[in-house]
Amino acid sequence: MRIDLDLGPPQQSETICNSMRGTAVSVTSLGGSALAEEDQQFSESHAQVLALVAQARQFPELREERIHLLRQAVQSGHYRSSPEKVAGAIFAHLIADTAA
């Protein structure tokens, strides 16, 4: 059995290429609306992130002060925690995550 790899005369291959170009244009035009929708979703998400950042910046001094005090206590060796409290906090966190 012989397989002929010749696509035919050049006119046929040009016709195929031209028809494929038309298809590519229609796919591109469809992709444009999908991109616009993605841009809109991204813009909405970006606005939400900016709002959350603004809320978080309202309380930075309190948190930074607490972190500084805890860091000093750990470094000086004065920070003590009970294993029961740590285990209880871990379980409470796990239960809260599964309930949500």
* 42 and 68 in a common domain: no
Alpha carbon distance 60, 55 (integer Å)? 10
pLDDT value at 75 more than 90: yes
3, part of any domain? no
pLDDT for 19-71, tens place per residue? 444 444 444 444 567 777 777 777 888 889 999 888 877 876 777 888 899 99
Same domain for 37 and 53: yes
Which domain does 85 fall in, by range?
A: 59-100
Q: What is the 3-state secondary structure (H, E, C) of the chain?
A: CCCCCCCCCHHHHHHHHHHHHHHHHHHHHHHHHHHHHHHHHHHHHHHHHHHHHHHHCCCHHHHHHHHHHHHHHHHHCCCCCCHHHHHHHHHHHHHHHHHC
